[in-house]
């Protein structure tokens, strides 16, 4: 059974992984990340961590925060893990460029809300 008290920890894992991705991708172009196997797979691993942590959040928490695309986050994790040989580098880049910023803002807000309870 998933415990609500652990939701804060899971959110902190997500936030840490987002920060790691930003560090790994800092000032890099798509071509630089695509051409650097170690950097690319470090980023992909962090996306897996984000998806796993999202999956481990309580159903109640996810239900209370429907503005975050939890299903898509977990689905991406599953696709990476099970479709490891067909991970689309442009899709990973798109996530970095378009999705992580809004997700980070939401996660920071959720952590603040939980700390005030």
- Catalytically active residues, by annotation: 77, 82
Cα 77-28-111 angle, rounded to 5 deg? 50
Q: Alpha carbon 86 to chain centroid distance?
A: 19
Cα distance between residue 31 and residue 24, in whole Å = 14
d(CA 22, CA 2): 29
Residue with token string 């429907």: 66
CB contact at 8 A, 18 and 100: yes
Q: Are 61 and 113 in contact (CB under 8 A)?
A: no
């Amino acid at each position: 059974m998933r415990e609500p008290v652990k939701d804060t920890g899971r959110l902190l894992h997500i936030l840490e992984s987002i920060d790691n991705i930003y560090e790994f991708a800092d000032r890099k172009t798509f071509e630089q990340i695509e051409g650097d196997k170690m950097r690319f797979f470090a980023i992909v691993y962090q996306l897996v961590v984000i998806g796993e942590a999202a999956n481990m959040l309580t159903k109640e928490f996810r239900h209370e925060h429907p503005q975050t695309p939890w299903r898509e986050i977990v689905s991406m994790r599953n696709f990476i893990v099970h479709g490891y040989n067909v991970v689309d580098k442009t899709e990973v880049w798109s996530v970095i460029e378009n999705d992580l910023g809004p997700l980070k803002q939401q996660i920071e807000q959720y952590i603040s809300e939980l700390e005030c309870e």
